[in-house]
Chains A and B, each alone.
Chain A
Amino acid sequence: MRRYLTLYWYFLLQRFKILLEYRANFMIGASSTIILQIAGLLTIWVVMGQIPDLNGWGFDEVLLVYGLITLAKSINHMFADNLWTIGWSYVRSGQFDRFLVRPIDPLFHLLADRFCHDGIGNFLVGAALVAKSTASLGIAWTPFNALYLAVAVLSGGAIFIALNLITATSVFWITESIPVTQVIFNTHEFAQYPLTIYHRGIQILLTWVLPYGLASFYPASFLLGREVGALAWLSPVVALALLVIAFRVWLFGLRHYSGTGS
């Protein structure tokens, strides 16, 4: 474990050296996702400015939900973006074979190979939204709340990473996994809003099948004092279970990998 942490640190240092070689590119990349988020946020702002509430949720309460999912997403974006690009930049080019002959875990190598600076923008937007909404709603930053938020965000990030890992594993059979990943990943957009606006079926999907709701709606509900029962506490458990399952799936796929011959 310590060895991997040290290694990750070295990978990260190298990555930043590369990134800072092209400072303008770094800044554009890191801030580009902010623009993309602003489009969605402006919509909420414009619409919510004209109505009292969205299904009983006020503007700041919706922002809290939106901010939490954005934070969780940014963790996946910064630290596990290579799960998207594994197909075209590693497997198809034969680069992935390089990982297999090295004395470290190939999945670790894949993830550590590229810290994605584009995720920083998402992180800043998410943090700003959570800070703004908790302040306006009078949610105090007690040690308990801070810890609860940290666990919720980290668990949310783990849920994103685990689901992406499962879908990325399809790369070993079809050499390009982005279409599969994209379809599953896109369902997180449901969780940008309070789940109560959807049909029961969609709520169940977002809670038990693709549990993105555990990253945003349930923790937000808990902090706002809305009754969601045990679901307020479930995210770390589900995140851990999903990670274990995802890693198993990944190992299974890895055994079926036979290279592309390039």
Chain B
Amino acid sequence: MMQALRRRIKVYGAFAAMAPKDYFAYTAWVWVEFIAQFLTMTIFVHFWRAVYANTSTLNGLNLPQTLNYIMLAQVLAPLVQTRTIFQFGFLIQNGQMAIELLRPVDFQARVLVDTLGWLGMYALLKTPLLLIAVILFGLQLPTSPAVWLAFGILLVLGRAVVFYFDWIFACLAFYTTETWGLSVVRVGVATFFSGILIPIAMMPGWLQQLAGAMPFAQAIYVPTSLLSGIASLADAPRVLLIQLGWLIALAILSRAVFNVAIRKVTVQGG
């Protein structure tokens, strides 16, 4: 039993370690994402400064709070702007999906480990961006280790929630071949309702309700609110429970949906 568990940890550990190797194969992309995030951050900082030119608070948030939030959300943004459905479509079209399903390790667990393993790498890669934001735009980061720890937990759980949602959504790739368009829709919806562009607290009631009904805020709005100082640490246990609820429900649902969808699999050559 113990041996089997150890073997399992070793196998999945190897997959988690693949994430940084994979990424450095595409160093150009590291730079592009970095520059793109920096540009967008610059635009947002100027935009919000102009917004606050004639008012000191908006929905109870002042300019430094909003800027803190917007900059941190921008750093995390790529984590929810994922195109799993497009990758599924690709795997199905070139026949790789059959191979993934034949492997002796669980396909979903492998990709999940890969996704979460990547978060560590991500933290490392984005540290310079945070420093630039601190120096150029006066980003204020918390000093309390407890806040950072809670942020880390909320971020990992939130990312896992989005992962399981993506898994369900990506199963559409078994039924349609237009996966690029669907992935664009997915990114557009997530960009708004995760709270990357505006803190969800600033939205009108009906938009807040929509955002609450979708899983994307769990990975951006929830952890970013804590790290930017909009939400307090005392609130963390409550949001953590909500996250766990999302996580368990979507994890179970994703496995059920996937098992139904693969019966449809018609691998197109390969």
Contacts and interface: CB of A to CB of B under 8 A. Distances in A.
Contacts of B209: none
A198 B44 CA distance: 10
Given A28-B182, A42-B207, A43-B197, A197 B46 contact: yes
A230 interface: no
Given A118-B181, A202-B42, A42 B47 contact: no
B262 to A, nearest CB: 21
A51 B203 contact: no
Contact of B55 (A32, A51, A186): A51
Contact of A36 (B31, B55, B187, B198): B187
Interface string A160-200: 00000000000000001001001100110110110001110
Nearest to A33: B184
A24 B181 CA distance: 11
Contacts of A58: none
Interface residues of A, number: 40
Contact of A54 (B51, B182, B188, B189): B51
Interface string B29-41: 1011001100110
Given A28-B182, A32-B185, A183-B35, A46 B203 contact: yes
B198 A35 contact: no
B4 interface: no
Contacts of B51: 47, 51, 54
Contacts of B184: 32-33, 35-36, 118
A31 B178 CA distance: 12
A189 B50 contact: no
Nearest to A41: B192
Nearest to A186: B36
Nearest to B204: A46
Contact of B36 (A35, A51, A183, A202): A183
B254 interface: no
Interface in B134-154: none
A50 interface: yes
Given A24-B178, A46-B204, A52-B54, A35 B47 contact: no
Contacts of B234: none
Contacts of B55: 50-51
A118 B180 CA distance: 10
A179 B32 contact: yes
B232 interface: no
Given A52-B54, A55-B50, A186-B39, A179 B28 contact: yes
Contacts of A202: 42, 46
A48 B203 CA distance: 11
Contacts of A94: none
Interface in A10-68: 22, 24-25, 28-29, 31-33, 35-40, 42-43, 46-47, 49-55
Interface of A: 22, 24-25, 28-29, 31-33, 35-40, 42-43, 46-47, 49-55, 118, 176, 179, 182-183, 186-187, 189-190, 192-193, 197-199, 202
Nearest 6 A-B pairs (CB), nearest first?
A25-B178, A28-B181, A36-B188, A39-B192, A35-B188, A32-B184
Given A42-B197, A49-B204, 10 more contacts: A22-B177, A35-B185, A36-B185, A43-B197, A47-B58, A51-B51, A51-B55, A51-B58, A190-B43, A202-B42
14 contacts: A22-B177, A32-B181, A36-B184, A36-B188, A43-B198, A47-B51, A47-B202, A50-B202, A52-B54, A54-B47, A54-B51, A179-B28, A186-B35, A193-B47
